[in-house]
Amino acid sequence: MEIKLKNFNNKLGCDSFVHVAQSPSERIPYSELPKPVTVIDMDTEEKHSCELLYFIRHDAGTLPNAMARLSHNMSDDELLELLKPGERELSSYLYRKIK
């Protein structure tokens, strides 16, 4: 599985990181976690071998400000402005790099 994301908050420089995004239409069962994934930096195309450890789905109106800060280093309102209008379901993902 490959995930492309922008390296907001220099998250890809960390051993573990949080990423907030629209929830995918394809659901990942919790029973498959931790799940190996390749995370690709959208700007540099650099690939990182990681594990998806956990995720939580939530409505855009209930996005915790702390998650927005960890993921994108911006407030929840600023992050919601970046996301697609009309998309209400978000997911917060926790990844760990595989060394």
Q: Please list, in sequence order, all residues whose beta carbon lies within 8 angstroms of the beta carbon of residue 18, skipping any fewer than 6 positions away.
A: 11, 67, 70, 71, 92, 93, 94, 95
Percent of the chain residues past pLDDT 70, beyond the cut: 99
Average pLDDT of every residue of the chain: 90
What predicted TM-score, i.e. pTM, was given to this entire model? 0.87
Q: How would residue 79 be classed by pLDDT, with cut points 50, 70 and 90?
A: confident
**pLDDT value at position 80?**
84
pLDDT per residue over 26-57, tens digit each?
A: 888 999 999 999 999 999 999 999 999 999 98
Alpha-carbon distance 55 to 43, whole Å? 24
